[in-house]
Structure 1
Amino acid sequence: MRIARYVVGEDPVYGVVELAADGGEHPDTVRTLTGDPLAGPVKYTGERLHLDDVRLVAPVIPRSKVVAIGRNYVAHIRELGNEIPDAPVSFLKPNTSVIGPGEPIVYPNATKHVDHEGELAIVIGRICRDVPRDRVPEVIFGYTAANDVSARDLQKSDVQWGRAKGYDTFCPLGPWIVTHLSVDEASDLDITVTVEHADGLREERQHGNTGLMMRGIAELVEFVSSFCTLLPGDVILTGTPSGVGPIVAGDRVNVEISGIGVLSNPVVSQDA
């Protein structure tokens, strides 16, 4: 199942997406749900809309936090000249950094170097703490695509990463949450990031697979839940493969994850 959050009037609503690739009777449509599937039981309203007639927004706005994992792909660690960590490297991104598909990434005036980082995101479905590895599937609601946008120069100068990775718009999520993937299936997904430039050039930057993560999905959820309580709607970013690179105003960044979809965002300047 694909759970989307979208706007047709004033307030976002949730729905279940059916794509043409599914071979169903209602291709590229969304069935509206009552309420929030991360907050409690929902049901269909009877309304069905074409995807072209709705505006997708972030499939989840975390109620409390986005916990991100750094340095989880060996090739990415090496491309930045860092040491392989003995334990997972974690940091927080504020929920105000979250945007949805199609919404602009705002390039701050305070930085001269902003990078894209395409990643698999885990969406938590229930309150949990100290989750043993074999019970991790019970607390995962689903998966979506993410872009851990990073002001690389500020990351180096500040030492702490809060500002460099926490600007508003620095955590695109989407296009929807896929709930039907098992942990094993989500551990073998291709991640491809392309950047479309204002001059029409399309450049593939990142191409990796979640199977290359040093620490897999179950280990990461176990680790994060060992030091903080996770709430429904919290998001864990699992790290980025090699190939990260700079983006500038006028670019469009596309994060594609097989089995999930494409998260696409334009880049604009702060003064735009």
Structure 2
Amino acid sequence: MKKIALSILLTATLLTACERPGSINKDAATHEDMAGMDHSGMAQEAGSSEAENVKAQFKLSKDKTLPKQDTTITTTIQDKDGKAINEFDTVHEKKMHFIIVSKDLSYFSHIHPDYKGNGVFEVTTQFPTSGEYKMYADITPTGMSAMNKSQWISVEGEAVAQQPIVPDATLTKVVDGKSITLSIDDLMPNMELKLNFNIKDAQTNGPVTDLQPFLGAVGHVVILTKDADKYLHVHPTDEKASGPDAEFMTTFPQSGVYKIWGQFQQNGKVITVPFVVKVS
């Protein structure tokens, strides 16, 4: 197996949040992407019959959604007959993980709506610029597999330039004073493989060994295809690890370009590091 572990440093600048960070695109259907993970951390496809029996309705609080303004997003989870699904498993401390990305994947937000009961979740956030965004509601209805439901939305305003999504020349980045190197067994589709994040202090080059649990684990990884069509939320193989290594197992479902976000916590601060890779 080839090893990918490139270590030239570069500084990552990105918009990201696991905090406070449109109008609904009514032509974009809510649908099932790749979803779920077993307890080993391997991403899996939710049972198609289960996923088909669950639907989500997304509603934004304003008819005209503008950037840098508070917007409340209401997500209602129902069965195929429109009846509210009331019970959800708590997965890594939350009943719903809510991911928002811009169309060019330059913006990433991982937030957690409050459950209001009767299948209704609410969260208030802001969108940084105009443009198209995709929202993912990552849930596990009680008695079912993990799954996600998604929706494209539009935020009005002056158009902004899209950033190209191209594979990184190196897989080491410096974020918030940490030098983070991503090593991957082999970039091939339909193969279970290991992703390892090695985290060091960027100034001393010493290993970081005091990572704190983030949502009940040493870290979380979200992976999207370039077109944001396929979604993976992966948990670590050793949730109680504290660094310098955080290891994950996953499978890329097809060839193509993927963006990977790793999230870790130290001294109460969440560190988010993005990488772009090509799977072939």
Name the TM-score, length of structure 2 as normaliser: 0.29
Name the structure with the higher helix share.
1
- Structure with bigger RCO (C-alpha 8 Å, 6+ apart): 1
Name the structure with the higher strand share.
2
